[in-house]
Chains A and B, each alone.
Chain A
Amino acid sequence: MNPHSTTHETASVKDYFGALFNGIKTTVVGMWITFRYVWGVKSVSIEYPEVREVLPERSRMRLFNDVQNCISCTQCAMACPVDCIYIASEKMPEGAEIKKTSNGQPIRLLLTQFTIDTALCCYCGLCTTVCPTECLTHSHDYEFSQYTIDGMKYDYLAPDVIAWRDRIVKV
């Protein structure tokens, strides 16, 4: 008879003590496994604010756009499945010097707005893969909680956001 059977009506004395012994044995085995963790296994958790994990290179955290390299092609805005990237651009004024991006593409349009609503962003990474000049990247910043939802909108043309560049962009 199956020692684990739950039909106790027909259980004989042998079955009863068999089940009892089985119960004690399996519990002790399980407790022993847990007990070994007291000194046998080293801990795997880290104490977060003091110790920080080094993120893998491909980690997708907050988006950062290096506006100096942006050519306003709007491909990222079109690829975005949640439409959280707002781009506006206008024609370069007459006679303005045409700058080049770091990989040699001429910047023919004047970027007037580049805003990402991080509250909507789903961190899928589709926008970074279509970017022709690789100016839009996922940085490794993951601590950016805000008090209001408007604070999650980042205008990448604002001077304080441009100042992140030195910290974020890995050249």
Chain B
Amino acid sequence: MHNVDLNQLASLINKNVNGANATAHVPEDKKLDGSITVETSHVAKVCEWLRGNSEIPFNALQSISGVDYMEWMEVCYMFAHFDVAAPRELILKVKLTDRVNPNVDSIMKTYPAADFQERECYDMFGIKFNNHKDLRRILCPDDWKGWPLRKDYVAEKTYNGMDIYPDNKMNYEDRDYIVRQAMIKKAQETKAQ
């Protein structure tokens, strides 16, 4: 589906970017998409190479998405190549283990599209992008507290003196709500131990 041999691309990255430590993840299940994980500190260089190389270039950044796996966080860069002859996509990943102050280099210099995408990722996950020119919240209000798309996010009760979840509008007996709360509690307990 992706039209890219991930193993070949990973070895190319390793050859051209020193210390990138790219590893390809090709799932056994053919329905799923594979990805390439690179060293967090080298992502800017890898992206520069990805855009500028002549072998397997990617000329457009589609989106930057964060995924929170409780123990670590991932930033997924979705690249695409807009070329009639060889359309291709790539999911590039970096792993962030620090939940308190996660940071990764900005790729805004190479792909200006990253500007808003990184701001969104910062807004939702609190991942700081070094060297970003204007890193502030984009979808949430500037004075919002917390990182909403993290799994351990618990919504504030009030915002600027307003009730966020008025009792008469919440169905607290909602099954999923309870399940989610239990999951968060369990995660916090395991983290405390």
Contacts and interface: CB of A to CB of B under 8 A. Distances in A.
Contacts of A83: 171, 174
Contacts of B171: 83, 86
A147 to B, nearest CB: 16
A78 B174 CA distance: 10
Interface string A64-79: 0000000000000010
Contacts of B174: 83
A86 B175 CA distance: 12
Interface in B147-173: 171
A83 B175 CA distance: 10
Interface residues of A, number: 3
A86 B170 CA distance: 12
A33 B175 CA distance: 59
A83 B177 CA distance: 11
A152 B146 CA distance: 33
Nearest to A82: B171
B71 to A, nearest CB: 30
Contacts of A86: 171
A76 B135 CA distance: 44
Interface in A30-86: 78, 83, 86
A83 B173 CA distance: 10
A124 to B, nearest CB: 17
A56 B90 CA distance: 45
B172 to A, nearest CB: 11
Nearest to A78: B175
A83 B171 CA distance: 8
Interface in B47-96: none
A83 B174 CA distance: 7
B65 to A, nearest CB: 22
Contacts of A78: 175
A78 B171 CA distance: 13
A86 B174 CA distance: 10
Interface string A86-99: 10000000000000
A152 B175 CA distance: 23
A61 to B, nearest CB: 23
B181 to A, nearest CB: 15
A17 B174 CA distance: 72
Nearest to B176: A83
A83 B169 CA distance: 11
A85 to B, nearest CB: 10
4 contacts: A78-B175, A83-B171, A83-B174, A86-B171
Top 4 closest A-B pairs, CB basis?
Answer: A83-B174, A83-B171, A86-B171, A78-B175
